[in-house]
Structure 1
Amino acid sequence: MSPRLRDRRARGRLARRLLAAAALAAVGVAGSGCASSEPGAAGDGPSGGRSATSATRDQAVRFAQCMREHGVRAFPDPDASGELTVDGVVNGTAIDTSGPPWTSALASCEDLQPAGFTGHERSAAQQRGALAFARCIRVHGVADFPDPTPDAPLVDTRRIPSAATDAGMRALNAAMGACGRQAGDAGVSAP
């Protein structure tokens, strides 16, 4: 495979990952409905307590089950480490993060959502990368792309009026593909 084709494929994977994050950012989460119950600690491990990894995985499993029960049937279970991120869930799947089933399930399962599912606050260096990413996106044709704040998603389509159309999303996708290095500097990497 030529280096150019490999680079194009990597940019495409990054663009898909960013679009998944953008789709999640467009979802308004309100309310909660799944009951959270803590499993008992006695007898759960060799010393009678639960390990942090086990507790993290158990919460992520309960969140995944809740999402499936509330209409996102293809929502996967977490990996063995218990890690569950929106990017990992939607990349390479047909899960629609902009539809009513996703929105409703997220709202219903909010109290079970694992830490880091939707991201984290960027460091100062990552924020500089995020601002460079925003400038790059604007240079590549999405004039209404805003500067992200450190605790906000890198791409928030609710703040990009042009992304409300198919042509606008295609332009955003193309710009994100061209700005992969800056996205990496902001802490987002291609799978």
Structure 2
Amino acid sequence: MVSRMKRFIFALAFLVAGCGVIPGLGADDNRHDQLVKYAQCLRQQGINVADPPPGEDSFNLDGRGVPKDKLEAALTTCKKYRPQERPPTAEDLERMRKSAACLRRNGVDASDPTAADPGIRVGSPPPGKDLDAITAACEKEAGQ
């Protein structure tokens, strides 16, 4: 089973690339409400994101065309609403490192996660390549 922490971290990394899905913590009402507040805050900062549907623990964020500094500022401003996750396990980190290595093999600039900074910073894909397709293949390869 894919850990929610890993999905959240992996998704946050793709925000830097321009778009992604933000997983939450589960479908319980309190956590869903927290994720809705996070989405609302991001919209107030000019980021295109829809509320998660009832019973869902994710929402789509479209950061294409948003300058990186504006996106990072919005994420910082809205951090207080972001659902809190458990720290990644060694297994989570290893799978994320495998994903990052796969992304790099496919021409995407990707940083290795650490326990202190578990996110994967991701750049744009090579011209003519689809980041979603590369990501899906790398997640599968890494066992996510």
CA deviations over 1:64-87 (Å, ceiling 9, x no partner): 222222222x32112213623xxx
CA contact (8 A) 1:68 1:75 kept: yes
Report deviation, 1:128.
Answer: 3.1
Conserved? CA contact 2:36–2:52, under 8 Å: yes
Name 1:89's counterpart in structure 2: 60
User: Given the two structures, how large is their TM-score scaled by the length of structure 2?
Assistant: 0.55
Q: Any conservation in 2 of the 1:56–1:114 contact (CA below 8 Å)?
A: yes
Are 2:15 and 1:24 aligned?
yes
Counterpart among 131, 138, 146 of residue 97 in structure 2: 131
Pair 1:156–1:53, CA change in 2 (3 A): same
Equivalent position of 2:43 in the other structure: 68
CA contact (8 A) 2:99 2:138 kept: yes
Which of these residues, 31, 35, 39, is aligned with residue 56 of structure 1? 31
Larger strand percent: 2
Structure 1 residues not aligned, in runs of 5+: 1-17, 28-51, 158-162
> Structure 2 vs 1, CA of residues 182 and 77 (structure 1 numbering), >3 Å: closer, same or farther?
same
List runs of 5+ in structure 2 lacking aligned partners: 1-9, 19-26
2:84 maps to: 115
Cα 1:182/1:60, change in 2 over 3 Å: same
Sort the Cα spacing of 1:97 and 1:148 in 2 relative to 1 into closer, same or farther, 3 A.
farther
RCO higher in structure (CA 8 A, sep ≥6): 1
Larger radius of gyration: 1
Aligned residue pairs, count? 122
Aligned partner of 1:77 in structure 2 is 51
Corresponding letter in the other structure for 1:129: R
Does structure 2 retain, via aligned residues, the 8 Å contact 1:130–1:148?
Answer: yes
- Residue of structure 2 aligned with 1:182, choices 135, 141, 144: 141
Whether the 8 Å CA contact 2:107–2:126 is kept in 1: the answer is: no
Within 1, Cα distance between the matches of 2:104 and 2:45?
Answer: 38
SS across alignment from 1:89: strand
1:89 shift after superposition: 1.8
Percent identity, aligned pairs only, is 28
Q: 1:156 to 1:56 in 2, by over 3 A?
A: same
CA distance change for structure 1 residues 126 and 68 in 2, over 3 Å: closer, same or farther? closer
The Cα RMSD (Å) is: 3.8
| 1:6-26 residue CA offsets vs partner (Å, 9 max, x unmatched) | xxxxxxxxxxxx6x6434357
